[in-house]
């Protein structure tokens, strides 16, 4: 089952899951009947799909939808930074209390594995959206304590801006670029960048690797906002408008404090839980501890996308 399954990630994950995981059933749980209707039309004749209208704020509906479910991917969220700043109660209802409902329903229903989607804005958050997702991250990790008597295990994946996702800056830049002017909040601004395919790969990897409580962070490139504007609208003039409410100059996925519990692998990092009494005491720590003082920031990343790289990615995006 995937919550928020009609979103950009959900649609990409559904196709990958049907092809690679061969599920007996794949449940799409979301609020919008029109989006479910449109998504159903993309998979004609696919009898493994089940569509549940529901909201993660409704614990009883979640429990009903999870009956007989083995795996849950939690992608439902209110994710617009400025919207959360002006509608904080709604953000908390969905992103925090909704996360708690998913955890409780998963444990009560005997779900085996749960992976929740997080965001780079949850590391050292400065806006409500990031703070709400940090709370959700901690709830999913701590949920393993509540589930320690059962076989339910919960983990988190955290990544940056997704090329081609709904609400992405890419379609906005394409639209305003036609006017001859592109608004830029700050010419120094940087962001992490990941494709939908890479996000799906991260989640499927976590589902097969997790023991419970891990927070997976992929090694992905950074990009400069001015380079993205150049890639999308090379003829347009840049207009600096200032940083918006709740916005950072640079994003971060692992803070210096979190780095003390972080181990490195070839293609990703894992932030290990503070306490993990659900794990076997003699389970060896895999991976290599990161060095003292390490932080994973979009400003100090060792991988960068050029204007040409960005142009190619934008051309391939939906």
Mean pLDDT by 10 residues, the chain (318 residues): 95 94 96 96 95 98 98 96 94 98 98 98 96 98 95 97 78 87 94 94 96 97 96 93 90 97 97 86 80 97 96 83
**Cβ atoms within 10 Å, residue 234:** 10
H/E run at residue 117: strand 113-117
Classified by CATH at the fold level, domain 2-160+194-219+252-295 comes out as Rossmann fold (3.40.50)
121 carries an active-site annotation: yes
Residues in the chain: 318
Catalytic residue, candidates 79, 121, 133, 248? 121
Tokens of 237: 């003039």
The number of C-alpha atoms within 13 Å of 107 and in the hemisphere containing its C-beta is 19
Find out whether 216 and 270 touch, Cβ atoms under 8 Å: yes
Tokens of 70: 């083995």
Tokens of 116: 């929740």
Could you give the CA distance from residue 132 to residue 85 in angstroms, rounded to a whole number?
Answer: 11
**Cβ atoms within 10 Å, residue 172:** 13
End-to-end CA distance of the chain: 24
- Adjacent-strand bridge partners of 162: 194
Could you give the CA distance from residue 8 to residue 4 in angstroms, rounded to a whole number?
Answer: 9
């Amino acid at each position: 089952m995937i919550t928020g399954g009609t979103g950009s990630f959900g649609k990409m994950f559904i196709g990958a899951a049907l092809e690679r995981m061969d599920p007996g059933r794949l449940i799409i749980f979301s609020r919008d009947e029109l989006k479910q209707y449109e998504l159903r039309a993309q998979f004609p004749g696919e009898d493994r799909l089940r569509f549940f209208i529901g909201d993660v704020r409704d614990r009883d509906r979640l429990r009903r939808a999870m009956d007989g479910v083995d795996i849950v991917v939690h992608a439902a969220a209110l994710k617009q930074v400025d919207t959360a700043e002006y509608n904080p109660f709604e953000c908390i209802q969905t992103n925090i209390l909704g996360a708690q409902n998913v955890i409780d329903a998963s444990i009560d229903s005997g779900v085996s594995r749960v992976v929740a989607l997080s965001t780079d804005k949850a590391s050292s958050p400065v806006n409500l959206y990031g703070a709400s997702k940090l709370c959700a991250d901690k709830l999913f990790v701590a949920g393993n304590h509540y589930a320690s008597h059962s076989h339910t295990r919960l983990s988190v994946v955290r990544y940056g801006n997704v090329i081609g996702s709904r609400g992405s800056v890419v379609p906005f830049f394409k639209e305003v670029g036609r006017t001859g002017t592109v608004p830029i909040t700050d010419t120094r601004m940087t962001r992490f960048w990941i494709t939908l395919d890479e996000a799906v790969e991260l989640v499927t990897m976590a589902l097969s690797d997790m023991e419970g409580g891990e927070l997976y962070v992929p090694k992905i490139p950074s990009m400069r906002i001015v380079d993205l504007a150049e890639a999308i609208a090379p003829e347009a003039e840049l207009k600096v408008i200032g940083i918006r409410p709740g916005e950072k100059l640079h994003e971060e996925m692992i803070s210096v404090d979190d780095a003390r519990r972080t181990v490195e692998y070839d293609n990703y990092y894992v932030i290990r839980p503070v306490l993990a009494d659900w794990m076997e005491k003699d389970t060896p720590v895999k991976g290599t501890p990161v060095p003292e003082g390490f932080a994973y920031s979009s400003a100090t990343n060792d991988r960068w996308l050029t204007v040409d790289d960005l142009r190619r990615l934008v051309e391939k995006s939906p």
